[in-house]
A and B are shown apart, each in its own frame.
Chain A
Amino acid sequence: MTHTVLIGLGVLIAILTVVAALGLLPSLRIVPDNTHFDFTRFRRISFPISAALSIVAITLFFTHGLNLGIDFKGGTLLEVKAKSGVADIAAMRTTLDALGLGEVQLQQFGGPENVLIRVAEQPGGDAAQQAALQKLRGALGDSVDIQRTEVLGPRVAGELLAYGMLGLMLAIVAILIYLWFRFEWQFALGAMIANVHDIVLTIGFMSISQVDFDLTSIAALLTILGYSLNDTVVIYDRIREMLRRYKKMPMPQLLNESINSTLSRSIITHVTVTLALLALLLFGGHAIHSFTAVMMFGVVLVGTYTSIFIAAPILIYLGVGEHREDAPETATPAKKNKA
């Protein structure tokens, strides 16, 4: 089935390619040429909104907390498939509750035969976790196929969490240093603020949605960091170029021009990234579901917004171009273009 569909799509692409190569397609302009939207003015709205959202996210983090996955919390996780084709969750719960392992979480996923079993970390160190696994395996017996097992002792879980957090900090600092070398310090600081903003909001999202916070979440956060910065850097690059070229343009206008001229690229790139993520979200299976969901939120929703509404306008507050005289608009690129 899938193969036929794929072959069909392949043929479609081939045809489209030929048509496109011959120039028979109309050119798609997602963002009209000569867009001049006043993004910078929105800083009076976007900054308070972002500040409020960040506070909400932080509050959520402290009240709701994150749903720590087994990587960081320790314990046992089993993914089982009922041999009969339909898992009897109620019976399973009764059997597993009788083991005296504390709270046993059962969760169906994918189909009626798949069950995810989670058991919290047992008191008594690493050996106790292994004993719990042994008990679980014994109790489940031959009625299920065990597809996946994860057992983490308390110390390893603690280390992974510490390591993950350290990595996140390390990445932010490393990127900051790189930006500091490539741009002026205000840019590095602006990117860093935008960065932290992205991570804070994404953590808020993880807190609301209660997706498992595990090693792959750290991977997602780092990727979000990378791509959000990617976007920010593209805009900053343009701002720097404009600063050199138009010595007398007022800062808000210069920022607007920069954002507008890179807007088409920002949007097209986000469409392609969204398409790729969408495919992963819909077809990639549950193993990477939370990973892609978090990434979708961070890259697509937050990342784009941040680079346009936070990272660029914040440069005004950080004093970029302060020394510039607010000269009359004699050299705007619009006029120059028309010339």
Chain B
Amino acid sequence: MEKFTTHTGIGVPLRQSNVDTDQIIPAVYLKRITRTGFEDALFAAWRKDPAFILNQAPFNAGSVLVAGPDFGTGSSREHAVWALKDYGFKTVLSSRFADIFRGNSGKQGLLAAEVAQDDIELIWKELENAPGTEVTVDLVSKTVQCGNIVAPFEIDDYTRWRLLEGLDDIGLTLQHEEDITAYEATRPSFKPKTLPARLS
């Protein structure tokens, strides 16, 4: 995974709560078997509307999405994170993220920064008053800056550390393979196995 320390880019105000993963990427795009190439799928239904924010310059060149509360609710599809990244977003700010979306972001190097809704409102106003304003998201100091607004954000320590170091999760876990093997030896024999298959 690529390291993330700080990012500065055009902020995109998305004044909407409950942006669910079906909006971020509709199910029809999930048939692909690749991990990349989802930029056309991002907000596919909404982008058909010329008034949608990503259809307006300079927001179409944005890389910091500033969304309403409960971003990423619904499905577990990591495709939502891939689509945001493929479009060019490096970070999403919201006062509340759905748990699975937040987890998926952390695995893929997309920074999901939890910013208080009051600060989100201030940033929205700033971005709407001066379109093209850049937002800086600093993972080291856990702050976000937009014009004169400087606000703290929350992220769990472990995800922050992995993002800062760009570490691969599976590699980290496999360092503890002996612990896994030891645990496996203690599992009760009544726990089910899928193999050999037993059928009705």
**A associates with B:** no
